[in-house]
Amino acid sequence: MKQVFITKKGHTEILASSAVPKNVKRKPANPPAHAAADAERDAEITNSCPDDGFFADAEQCDKYYECRNGKIIEKLCPDGMVFNDYSPEEEKCDLPFNIDCSQRPKLQEPIPAEHCPRQNGYFSHSDPKECGKFYYCVDGKFNMITCPDGLVYNEKTGICTWADEAKKKGCGAADVFQFDCPPVNETFGLTHPRYADPEDCQFFYVCINGNTPRRSGCKLGQAFDDVSKKCEWARKVPECADWYKDQLTDAELDALENPPTPKPKPTGTVSRRKPQRPVKGKQIEADEE
């Protein structure tokens, strides 16, 4: 007799494909390890669905079942997606980053394509040295995405994060930035000290707790002043006075440093009420002087 294990929000229903007596307590053969205790205690072998709806498989994260009028239909999510069991009323497959599959870790056999280990999902760049690039795959077709400057693709979350958060081999903060935070005492380290980027006047490094560098930047036309430890207009920072020479004209720099003052809004209240028109056939009496 074939048995189907369906999870239902912490409870395991064991659905059999052939009719057996209801309300018979029996330990299922080779139950999933995570469900053994619950299954032994209160599992019921039945020839009908617990309810109409969609239910996750107890062992395989991308497999689920549709129950309709007592019939069980086995289904699979598209390759690379897993079943979202948030509500039995919704048939929804989601990205693995959004679903906890630790209790049902099995998956269907992958269908790989160029740069896509599976047909759908987010995947690391094929070159491990490309820390800030990754692939977004849909139906086996890939699109390469580049993270914002200074961020690294995080394989655990599927998004771009700081290098120290991604913890990707070969893509640590020192590897990405080629910058090491100078050694400081613990007290000063808690101030998250800032240091100028030796290669780019517009950028600087913030050393989290004094030892983990994160790259940040000033707005266009500004440079990081390593003396005041803040962004200043580049022409006021001696070592960066000519930094924008090949990017912006003096007139453009003047406009950035001295933006036009916006005109003040009128303070008086303007009435939008239309003047009243005389009603035909009636005389409007004027006030006597």
Q: How much is the average pLDDT of 241-249?
A: 93
User: Which residue type does 46 have?
Assistant: T
Do residues 149 and 236 share a domain? no
266 occurs within a structural domain = no
Do residues 172 and 190 share a domain? no
**38-52, 117-131, 185-199, 210-224: range with lowest mean pLDDT:** 38-52
Domain interval for residue 12: 3-98
Question: pTM for this structure?
Answer: 0.64
Do residues 10 and 73 share a domain? yes
For the stretch 87-90, contacts whose Cβ atoms lie closer than 8 Å and that sit 24 or more positions apart, written own/partner, are 88/8, 88/9, 88/51, 88/53, 88/54, 88/55, 89/53, 89/54, 90/54
Full DSSP string of 259-271 = PPPPPPPP-SPPP
286 occurs within a structural domain = no
Report the C-alpha gap between 103 and 59 in whole angstroms: 7
Tokens of 251: 């007139």
273 occurs within a structural domain = no
272 occurs within a structural domain = no
Q: Residue 280: helix, strand or coil by DSSP?
A: coil
8 occurs within a structural domain = yes
- Number of domains within the chain: 3
DSSP β-ladder status, 222-225 and 212-217: unpaired
Query: Tell me, what DSSP letter sits at residue 234?
Result: G
Query: What is the predicted pLDDT for the residue at 30?
Result: 52
Report the C-alpha gap between 135 and 155 in whole angstroms: 11
Q: How much is the average pLDDT of 102-129?
A: 94
The answer to whether 35 touches 7, Cβ cutoff 8 Å, is yes
84 occurs within a structural domain = yes
Tokens of 177: 């930035």
Q: How much is the average pLDDT of 116-134?
A: 94
Q: Residue 131: helix, strand or coil by DSSP?
A: coil
The answer to whether 240 touches 201, Cβ cutoff 8 Å, is yes
Mean pLDDT over all residues of the chain?
82
What pLDDT band is residue 77 in, cutting at 50, 70 and 90?
very high
**64-68, 125-129, 278-282: range with lowest mean pLDDT:** 278-282
- pLDDT at residue 4 is higher than 60: no
- Identify the CA nearest to 108 among candidates 97, 98, 100, 120: 120
Report the C-alpha gap between 141 and 113 in whole angstroms: 8
Do residues 11 and 84 share a domain? yes
Report the C-alpha gap between 134 and 166 in whole angstroms: 13
- pLDDT at residue 61 is higher than 50: yes
140 occurs within a structural domain = yes
Q: How much is the average pLDDT of 44-72?
A: 81
Query: What is the predicted pLDDT for the residue at 268?
Result: 63
- pLDDT at residue 68 is higher than 50: yes
